[in-house]
């Protein structure tokens, strides 16, 4: 088969396909099923106008890809970034398929994106862009078909606009159309913190298995958005030493640990991490190779590559972001004995609590936060156990084991359903 690549070596879709092929080679899969699961089911591209505040009309391009819907409606975030490409959205949609299957949610995988720099727009412009993009997506989304959520550059307010636009179009309120909404319109308690919290839950599971659960740990975190900042705060609250954090403009470092609540306050006030009292300013490149025990790449894909994998000092990498490590870097790190807890496991906390939100919206019955955290912990630890058992059984790394577990679940369901017609 031929898949066209529109980008260079650091193409996330090539990475997703290479990971898939690597896992499939270790499995005993029917080749028709393996070929089917390699392809995105639907790909949607839309070019649409947005009125800027000065009256100009500007054209934007957006995507939504449904990768696989064998296990249920597709689920996946919407990203606003100038780096969005169709290949990136395809990769992220494919990873969502495996992530949902790995943690046993009744969902397929999807992803969306708009090529835009959200920080370069006013709130009113962002609202118009979101509402127009949503109205273009109407034939593709519904609580039974495809349920969007936040990703890089989007958040609860974006989800509120999507929910309102969809609801206005169909004529009644449909909270279950998106997850990651504000609490007062049907969002779930604990959703905002879920991904970062899940990253730390997975890190602790890994440390336990290495007999390091109660040892002091130095953690470096790339990305200080939803995932990175919540992971940093939860790790800090649990008594871990967070020595470095960064955002797109660079990071800060103190080998003795950062006071994360104070860093959050500094970031809120100054809108940058730079010049935090008592810390050194560092670049993202420096952060990734700092002396530390655990590295949490929690910003975006293709950050650990063959160029820097040899210099990573951490003994463990827990992937808060999707696709932060390329296949070439995986090989180098595996060779060096660095344990990688893969994205589809490590950052699955977000989609798990998104699933809880969808269930709560459909039932119109809302849980308290303790119940959300209890169920999140239960599902993630079980997925970790299953992945570790698969890795042990087949003598493969955790990424391959996670992919194998997920691919097998989708393959089994496809086998049961059969190929239509
Ligand atoms: P976000 O927009 O809230 O934060 C992204 C962070 O990364 C920001 O601090 C930003 O400054 C930084 N960043 C952006 N480009 C960068 C670059 N080139 N170098 C270094 N830092 C950069 O996004 P988020 O929701 O925290 O998502 C981060 C990652 O986690 C993405 O890969 C996303 O797909 C993944 N993820 C998010 C969720 C979720 O629930 N939000 C769930 C699963 C996975």
Q: What is the CA radius of gyration of the chain?
A: 20
Torsion of CA 318, 347, 113, 414, to 10 degrees: 120
**Distance in angstroms (rounded) separating the CA atoms of residues 166 and 301:** 30
Give me the residue label for tokens 């100054």: 270
Q: Whose CA is nearest to atom 32 of ligand 1?
A: 321
Decide if 68 contacts 41 (C-beta within 8 A). Answer: yes
- What are 280's strand-pairing partners? 253
Rounded Cα–Cα distance for residues 295 and 287 (Å): 9
Residues 234 and 260: their CA atoms lie apart, in Å, by 9
Contact criterion met (CB below 8 Å) for 339 and 361 = no
Q: What is the DSSP letter of 142?
A: B
Q: For ligand 1, what atom is nearest to the CA of residue 99?
A: 43
Domain boundaries 1-39+188-421, corresponding CATH code: 3.40.50.720
> Cα of 32 to ligand 1 centre, how many Å?
35
**Sequence ranges of the domains in the chain:** 1-39+188-421, 42-185
Ligand 1, atom 31: closest residue by C-alpha: 321
Percentages of the chain per state (helix, strand, coil), in multiples of 5: 50, 20, 35
pTM of the entire structure?
0.96
Euclidean distance between CA atoms 130 and 124, whole angstroms: 10
48 alpha carbon – ligand 1 mean position (Å): 25
Q: What is the pLDDT of residues 322-366, one digit of tens each?
A: 999 999 999 999 999 999 999 999 999 999 999 999 999 999 999
Q: Which two tokens stand for residue 168?
A: 């206005």
Residue nearest to atom 2 of ligand 1 (CA): 152
Of 151, 159, 181, best ligand 1 pocket probe by most atoms within 8 Å of the beta carbon: 151
What is the CA(73)–ligand 1 centre distance, in A? 24
Element (H, E) at 294: strand 294-297
DSSP string, 73-124: SEEEEEEEETT--HHHHHHHHHHHHHHHHHTT-S-EEEEEEEE--GGGS-HH
Q: Is 215 a catalytic residue?
A: no
Report the atom number in ligand 1 closest to the C-alpha of 79: 34
How far is ligand 1, taken at its centre, from the CA of residue 200, in Å? 16
Q: How many CB atoms lie within 10 A of CB 70?
A: 21
* Region of 153 on the Ramachandran plot (φ > 0 left; ψ -120 to 50 alpha; else beta): left
| 283 CB neighbour count, 10 Å cutoff | 11
Q: Which of 75, 99, 111, 181 is catalytic?
A: 111
- Residue bearing the CA closest to ligand 1, atom 5: 225
Closest CA to 164 of 134, 194, 125: 134
Q: Are 74 and 42 in contact (CB under 8 A)?
A: no
On whether the 42-185 domain is CATH 3.40.718.10, my answer is no
Q: Which residues line ligand 1 (CB under 6 A)?
A: 150-153, 195, 222-228, 247-248, 284, 298-300, 320-322, 347, 350
Q: Look-up: residue for tokens 């505040």?
A: 53
pLDDT tens, residue order, the chain (421 aa): 333 333 344 699 999 999 999 999 999 999 999 999 999 999 999 999 999 999 999 999 999 999 999 999 999 999 999 999 999 999 999 999 999 999 999 999 999 999 999 999 999 999 999 999 999 999 999 999 999 999 999 999 999 999 999 999 999 999 999 999 999 999 999 999 999 999 999 999 999 999 998 899 999 999 999 999 999 999 999 999 999 999 999 999 999 999 999 999 999 999 999 999 999 999 999 999 999 999 999 999 999 999 999 999 999 999 999 999 999 999 999 999 999 999 999 999 999 999 999 999 999 999 999 999 999 999 999 999 999 999 999 999 999 999 999 999 999 999 999 999 9
What is the token pair recorded at 157?
């307010």
**311-348 as b/e, with b when 16 or more CB fall inside 10 Å?**
ebebbbbbbbbbbbbbbbbbebbbeeebbbbbbbbbbb
Let me know if the fold of 1-39+188-421 is the same as that of 42-185. yes
Q: From ligand 1's centre to the CA of 280, what distance in Å?
A: 22
Residue nearest ligand 1's atom 13 by CA = 248
> Smallest Cα–Cα separation from 350: which of 218, 196, 213, 145?
196
């Amino acid at each position: 088969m031929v898949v066209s690549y529109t980008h260079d070596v650091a193409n996330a879709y090539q990475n997703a396909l290479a990971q898939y092929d690597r896992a499939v080679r270790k499995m005993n899969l029917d080749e028709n099923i393996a070929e089917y699961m390699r392809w995105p089911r639907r790909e949607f591209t839309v070019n649409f106008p947005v009125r800027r505040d000065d009256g100009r009309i500007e054209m934007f391009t957006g995507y939504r890809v449904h990768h696989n819907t064998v296990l249920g409606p597709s689920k996946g975030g919407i990203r606003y970034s100038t780096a969005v490409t169709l290949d990136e959205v395809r990769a992220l949609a494919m990873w969502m398929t495996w992530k949902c299957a790995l943690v046993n949610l009744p969902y397929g995988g999807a992803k969306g994106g708009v090529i835009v720099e959200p920080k370069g727009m006013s709130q009113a412009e962002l609202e118009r862009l979101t509402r127009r993009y949503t109205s273009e997506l109407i034939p593709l989304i519904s609580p039974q078909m495809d349920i969007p959520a936040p990703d890089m550059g989007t958040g609860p307010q974006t989800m509120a606009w999507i929910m309102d636009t969809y609801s206005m179009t169909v004529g009644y309120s449909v909270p279950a159309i998106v997850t990651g909404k504000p609490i007062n319109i049907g969002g779930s308690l604990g959703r905002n913190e879920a991904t970062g919290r899940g990253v730390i839950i997975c890190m602790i599971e890994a440390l336990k298995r290495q007999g390091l659960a109660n040892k002091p740990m130095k953690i470096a975190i790339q990305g200080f958005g939803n995932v990175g900042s919540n992971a940093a705060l939860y790790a800090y609250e649990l008594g871990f030493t967070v020595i470095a954090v960064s955002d797109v403009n660079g990071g800060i470092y103190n080998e003795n640990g950062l006071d994360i609540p104070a860093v959050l306050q500094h970031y809120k006030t100054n809108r940058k991490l730079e010049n935090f009292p008592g810390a050194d300013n560092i670049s993202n490149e420096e952060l990734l190779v700092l002396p530390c025990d655990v590295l949490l790449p929690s910003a975006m894909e293709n950050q650990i590559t063959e160029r820097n994998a040899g210099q990573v000092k951490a003994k463990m990498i827990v992937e808060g972001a999707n696709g932060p490590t390329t296949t070439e870097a995986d090989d180098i790190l595996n060779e060096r004995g660095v344990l990688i807890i893969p994205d589809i496991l490590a950052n699955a906390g977000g989609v798990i609590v998104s699933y809880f939100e969808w269930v709560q919206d459909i039932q119109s019955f809302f849980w308290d936060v303790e119940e959300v955290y209890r169920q999140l912990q239960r599902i993630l630890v079980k997925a970790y156990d299953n992945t570790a058992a698969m890795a042990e059984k087949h003598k493969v790394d955790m990424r391959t084991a996670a992919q194998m577990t997920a691919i097998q679940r989708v393959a089994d369901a496809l086998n049961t359903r059969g190929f239509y017609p």
